[in-house]
A and B are shown apart, each in its own frame.
Chain A
Amino acid sequence: MAVTERTREKRGAGEQLVEMAWDPITRIIGNLGIYTKIDFANRRVAECHATSSLFRGYSVFMKGKDPRDAGFITSRICGICGDNHTTCSVYAQNMAYGIKTPPLGEDIINLGEAAEYMFDHTIYQDNLCFVDFCEAMVKATNPSVLQRARRTDAPHAEIHGYRTIADIMEAYNPFEGEVYKNALRVSRVTREMFCKMEGRHVHPSTLYPGGVGTMPEPTLFTDYLSRLVSILDFVKKAVAMNDDVFDFFYEALPGYEEVGRRRVLLGCWGAWQNPDVCDYRYENMSRWGRAMHVTPGVVVDGELVTTDLVDINLGIRILLGSSYYEDWVNEEPFVTHDPLGNPVDIRHPWNQTTIPVPQKRDFEDKYSWVMSPRWFDKRTGELLALDTGGGPFARLYATALAGLVDTPYVKATGSSVRISLPRSEKLPETTLEWRIPKWSNAIERDRARAYFIAYSAAMSLYFLERAMGRMRAGDMKVFQDFEVPDEGIGCGFHEAVRGVLSHHLVIKDKKIANYHPYPPTPWNASPRDVHGVPGPYEDAVQDMPIFEENGPDDFKGVDIMRAVRSFDPCLPCGVHMYLGKGNVLKKLHSPTFGASHG
């Protein structure tokens, strides 16, 4: 897969490129469009640009506000994983205020976040992503594959109850399929679990720096537990069904591993603090980062480069190049050195100043509101376009390689993650094992999501046991008081549902001087940076083979959509497609700030 942009001259003279655009792929942080040029003669995607046409400006309007409001404001960044922002903001504020959440409070946050992962991954996987793999879609795009699916027995039929692969695909059919409907029910139950812990979904009302406002009591945890046990059957079946369908795709469509494939460049910022180790002090961040229940890490070509959150933090660079912003290199830096004395780059989020410059979209120049976050690999000097693998893929990959997570329910082995789930309503005690796959591609990103639901369910059991143990010992403290300092810096590292999440905070005069949230979508949907390196969506789709049986006239682009959706670009529920047969039908420009700024 190409990592740098191909020039027009390199293309073959005989290529007949058809421009195709999917814009908007909606309900992500902003507005994602995928613009491609497809070479139907050779059945591959020749070129891809990912663009966002919406400016958010959180980093602009957060300045001057009371830092205690940050968690409540930044939660509004997203309508499905807002609580991840609140949590991450709480982490960053805890560091800036020099406080820590009491252990029982930390358990409550962990349980809330685990419920969020279970909720969000379920609704995304079964109600949105799997529409691309359902019987109706496969019938419309690859009828021969569906024929074969009808003849192929499902290897795990005894677990999920569907005899053939086509039966599973039918269960994925939107609005009618059994799995589709069950997933909606499960996402309701998991949302209830979330609300028990964090008060309200998706913008938590009981999450603050220094602790939680949730009242700890036995029924809080038993209500959560009974709901959790009620969904375990679904979780176990989902993993088996996912494995069956994805293995079938590899078998039925040889070469399908190339769909959405890119170099293994993964980032995971870690999730679920361990309250026994975590003190939120930057000086100890390497230690408490490694104690997290999903290990932070950067993986390059299958090798774990680091698990140190300090290294991860200092390596972050925000590049421009194809984004509608002015450079800030001439601005005053906010943080020249971190608390350990390491120099902090001007392109680091602590020092970033957002200077928007709205303009027309031009794929040869500037074409997106998304910046280009990259990670500086100090071994090679490369600026890596890390992706999150949709979240679970990077989380499982980094955790598996690091081998640090060792709990009664989840264990990282160095090459895999073993997840043990207890007996549930219909199915016996089950141990699942996610093994590091050969590729970083669409199917493996999707497969990891089902395993991570099981991971979250298993970790919830662990957090519940810990929380109830503390409560039995009489520990009821869930909040700590604090004062906002005149000056301070903080950084929070967490995993939003779809991948890495960091919040960087600078306080001056008890007000926010600089605040930069970096959610997963800027990493995944970033455009070409100043060095011409494409972002992960572009990289994964560019040069990708097309397996769809339809020609240009009734082309649905399902392979491209599977590749993009494998990254979980929030909720891609509304997809519009324009087919131009090589001609641009119409160009429209809508200036964000009105016609006078066109």
Chain B
Amino acid sequence: MGRIRVGKPHVKIDTPSHVRGIREGNAKRSMSRQIGHHKDHTADARRSTGIRPKKHDAILKIMPNLPPG
């Protein structure tokens, strides 16, 4: 801050960021652990619901699997 007098910070400057030991959403391989997401970038209804997900999947193989929100 140049020649401006500033006080001592009460907290470390990166306080609101990551806490050690907690899994990070961006961490490598976190995508592969996402339920209902496939390696080929497709998804199935398990992405959206755990209740009878197969009932919500596409009924024919030629249809895109578009899980409900």
Whether A477 contacts B66 by the Cβ 8 Å rule is no
Closest CB in chain B relative to A429 CB, distance in Å: 30
Contact of B17 among A65, A210, A480, A597 (CB under 8 A): A65
Complex Cα–Cα for A471 and B69 (A): 14
Whether A217 contacts B26 by the Cβ 8 Å rule is no
Whether a CB of chain A sits under 8 angstroms from the CB of B21 is: no
Whether B26 contacts A475 by the Cβ 8 Å rule is no
Complex Cα–Cα for A73 and B53 (A): 38
Whether A69 contacts B17 by the Cβ 8 Å rule is yes
Whether B4 contacts A593 by the Cβ 8 Å rule is yes
Closest CB in chain A relative to B18 CB, distance in Å: 6
Whether B31 contacts A479 by the Cβ 8 Å rule is yes
Give the secondary structure class of A's interface: loop
Interface members, chain B 14-57 (any A CB < 8 Å):
14, 16-18, 25-31, 37, 40-43, 47-48
Closest CB in chain B relative to A169 CB, distance in Å: 45
Whether A215 contacts B42 by the Cβ 8 Å rule is no
Complex Cα–Cα for A145 and B41 (A): 61
Closest CB in chain A relative to B1 CB, distance in Å: 6
Closest CB in chain B relative to A146 CB, distance in Å: 52
Complex Cα–Cα for A326 and B30 (A): 45
Closest CB in chain B relative to A330 CB, distance in Å: 12
Complex Cα–Cα for A528 and B31 (A): 51
Q: Known contacts A63-B13, A481-B31, A593-B4; is A474 also within 8 Å of B65 by CB?
A: yes
Contact of B26 among A63, A209, A473 (CB under 8 A): A209
Whether A483 contacts B42 by the Cβ 8 Å rule is no
Whether A471 contacts B66 by the Cβ 8 Å rule is yes
When C-beta atoms are compared, the residue in chain A nearest to B68 turns out to be A217
Whether a CB of chain B sits under 8 angstroms from the CB of A283 is: no
Closest CB in chain A relative to B11 CB, distance in Å: 11
Closest CB in chain A relative to B55 CB, distance in Å: 17
Residues of chain B lying within 8 A (CB to CB) of residue A210: 26
Whether B14 contacts A66 by the Cβ 8 Å rule is yes
Interface members, chain A 251-305 (any B CB < 8 Å):
none
Complex Cα–Cα for A218 and B66 (A): 7
Identify which of B14, B47, B65 gathers the most chain A CB atoms within 10 Å of its CB.
B14
Complex Cα–Cα for A481 and B39 (A): 13
Residues of chain B lying within 8 A (CB to CB) of residue A218: 66
Whether B31 contacts A480 by the Cβ 8 Å rule is yes
Give the secondary structure class of B's interface: loop
Residues of chain B lying within 8 A (CB to CB) of residue A326: 2-3
Whether B41 contacts A102 by the Cβ 8 Å rule is yes
Whether a CB of chain B sits under 8 angstroms from the CB of A575 is: no
Complex Cα–Cα for A479 and B31 (A): 8
Complex Cα–Cα for A143 and B44 (A): 66
Whether A473 contacts B29 by the Cβ 8 Å rule is no
Whether a CB of chain B sits under 8 angstroms from the CB of A68 is: yes
Residues of chain B lying within 8 A (CB to CB) of residue A471: 64, 66
Contact stretch, chosen from A337-345, A351-359, A544-552, A563-571: A351-359
When C-beta atoms are compared, the residue in chain A nearest to B36 turns out to be A476
Q: Known contacts A69-B16, A218-B66, A481-B31; is A355 also within 8 Å of B26 by CB?
A: no
Whether A475 contacts B16 by the Cβ 8 Å rule is no
Q: Known contacts A69-B16, A69-B17; is A475 also within 8 Å of B30 by CB?
A: no
Residues of chain B lying within 8 A (CB to CB) of residue A329: none
Residues of chain A lying within 8 A (CB to CB) of residue B69: 215, 217, 219-220
Whether A356 contacts B4 by the Cβ 8 Å rule is yes
Whether B27 contacts A65 by the Cβ 8 Å rule is no
Whether a CB of chain B sits under 8 angstroms from the CB of A482 is: yes
Complex Cα–Cα for A69 and B68 (A): 30
Complex Cα–Cα for A472 and B63 (A): 8
Q: Known contacts A481-B27, A483-B27; is A64 also within 8 Å of B13 by CB?
A: yes
Complex Cα–Cα for A476 and B4 (A): 51
Residues of chain A lying within 8 A (CB to CB) of residue B13: 61, 63-65
Whether A473 contacts B64 by the Cβ 8 Å rule is yes
Whether A483 contacts B4 by the Cβ 8 Å rule is no
When C-beta atoms are compared, the residue in chain A nearest to B40 turns out to be A474
Complex Cα–Cα for A482 and B13 (A): 23
Complex Cα–Cα for A210 and B67 (A): 22
Closest CB in chain A relative to B41 CB, distance in Å: 4
Complex Cα–Cα for A480 and B2 (A): 40
Q: Known contacts A217-B66, A217-B69, A473-B64; is A482 also within 8 Å of B28 by CB?
A: yes
Interface members, chain A 446-500 (any B CB < 8 Å):
471-477, 479-484
Contact of A208 among B26, B47, B68 (CB under 8 A): B26
Whether a CB of chain B sits under 8 angstroms from the CB of A237 is: no
When C-beta atoms are compared, the residue in chain B nearest to A477 turns out to be B41
Whether a CB of chain B sits under 8 angstroms from the CB of A60 is: yes
Residues of chain B lying within 8 A (CB to CB) of residue A476: 37, 41-43, 47, 67
Q: Known contacts A65-B17, A218-B66, A483-B28; is A474 also within 8 Å of B1 by CB?
A: no
Complex Cα–Cα for A215 and B65 (A): 14
Residues of chain A lying within 8 A (CB to CB) of residue B66: 217-218, 471
Residues of chain A lying within 8 A (CB to CB) of residue B43: 476
Residues of chain A lying within 8 A (CB to CB) of residue B31: 479-481
When C-beta atoms are compared, the residue in chain B nearest to A357 turns out to be B2
Closest CB in chain A relative to B61 CB, distance in Å: 11
Pick 16 A–B contacts, CB within 8 A, sort by A. A65-B13, A68-B26, A69-B16, A208-B25, A217-B67, A355-B2, A356-B2, A357-B2, A476-B37, A476-B42, A476-B43, A479-B31, A481-B26, A481-B30, A482-B28, A597-B4
* Pairs of residues from A and B, 3 with the lowest C-beta to C-beta distance, nearest first: A66-B17, A355-B2, A477-B41
Q: A471-B66, A475-B42, A481-B30 are in contact. List 5 more A-B contacts (CB 8 A).
A: A65-B13, A210-B26, A473-B64, A476-B41, A482-B28
